[in-house]
Amino acid sequence: MSRPRSRAMVALVLTLTATSHFFNLRCFVRPGARYTTHPAGRSHVRYAFPGGESVAAAIATGFEAVENFNKMGQSADLIQKWSSVMPGAELKLEVDKSTDDNIVLKHVEKLCEEIALAVDNNKTISVLGISSQRQANLGTRVVDDTPFQKLMTKVLAVNRSGCTAVHAEPGMGKSIASLRALPAGRVSKNYTVLLDGGFRAEMMRFFRVSSFELVVSVARMVFPALTQAGVSMNMIFDNGVEDDEDFHKSRAEWIFLLKAAYESRSLSNEDW
């Protein structure tokens, strides 16, 4: 199966509690690309780009995808299925081997091959970092069509390159809502991964490296390699700030990922 090349290749989404402190990254977040839920439960979305009709069509398709996909199984079953998509832990780059360019290149090639193969096999949604206990808890507390689920559906359906920060009040159920909205990511990208847990730990898990210091060097090669393979990706960070006590130390790495997401575009100047 051939993968059509998307113009916007990598998009990052953060789900944050309303009280979470985040870096001042306005230089990398396009105006209008911040999404919030109102206290009354209504979702508010501001779009930072033209094409209202195409946006509305994408959102409608996103809601249809979420509704149809979530009818196929219980939440716990879907989480277990999505958790098995990413490559196994044997793909781990050790620090003592990171100075060998050939070993690093082979690591990147293998990781990208596994992701591209998953896309070819229609395994386009992946979840990382959710423990078995957390999977069980999430599976027993499913409430669909919440305001936050609708908000995440809209965000993922029209997601572009760069970064989107999605804020919610504590207790809104953003984790399960984000999980239930994942099928909408198929509208904007051909691969969607949700990373549940601390930012540093989940970056190491996704890029399959043994040290956070290796994340940037590997990501610098992975993003363009995925672009060349025709893989476009939504990367969602849930609890990335709240569950990472050292998140404030990761400013440089986070800024790099944002810049890489903006730069991971095809050479076309067209927006859609």
pLDDT one-digit tens code per residue, 199-253: 888 888 899 998 888 888 888 889 888 888 889 999 999 888 777 777 777 878 8
> In angstroms, rounded to a whole number, what is the distance separating the alpha carbons of residues 88 and 109?
15
Tell me the HSE value of 97 on the side-chain side, using a 13 A CA sphere. 13
| 103-123 tens-digit pLDDT | 888 899 999 999 999 999 999
> Beta strand pairing status for 125-128 and 162-168?
unpaired
SS3 142: coil
pLDDT given at position 81: 79
Q: Which residues are registered as beta bridge partners of 127? A: 194
pLDDT given at position 49: 42
- Burial class of residue 62 (count of CB atoms within 10 Å of its CB; 0-12, 13-18, 19+): buried
pLDDT given at position 51: 45
In 91-168, at which residue ranges do the beta strands (DSSP E only) sit? 125-128, 162-168
Stated pTM of the model = 0.80
**Is pLDDT at 17 greater than 60 in this prediction?**
yes
> In angstroms, rounded to a whole number, what is the distance separating the alpha carbons of residues 262 and 253?
14
**Is pLDDT at 91 greater than 50 in this prediction?**
yes
